[in-house]
Amino acid sequence: MWYFLFARDRPGTLATRLAARSEHLARLRELADQDRLKIAGPIPAIESPDPGDAGFIGSMLVVEFESIEAARLWADQDPYVMAGVYESIEIHPFKPVLP
């Protein structure tokens, strides 16, 4: 099943986010290589594709796992979690319709 993940950043963690970014992206590439990633990206804190020092408020992903528990286990091991960037992660079932 597909799941929507919304991960909220802790305030003031932009430098930590940037330091852990390559490890975070490597995990996402693994899912993409397995065709289990529909979309993923950061949520800028301001209306700009490059928010600079304003940073990000979090990330959103749509990923495929066999269960919500498996999605939670995967999310809890993310480098951003381990580094203290994310303060919370919401996970919900998701039903792709379009395109």
Do 37 and 63 touch, CB atoms closer than 8 A?
yes
pLDDT at 84: 98
Residues 57-83: tens digit of each pLDDT: 999 999 999 999 999 999 999 999 999
Total-model pTM: 0.93
Instruction: Residue 86: name the closest of 14, 2, 22 by CA.
Output: 14
Task: Give me 52's structure tokens.
Answer: 């600079």
Domains of the chain: 2-94 (3.30.70.1060)
- pLDDT < 50 stretches in the chain: none
What value does the CA radius of gyration of the chain take, rounded to a whole number of Å?
13
Q: CB 13: neighbour CB atoms within 10 A?
A: 19
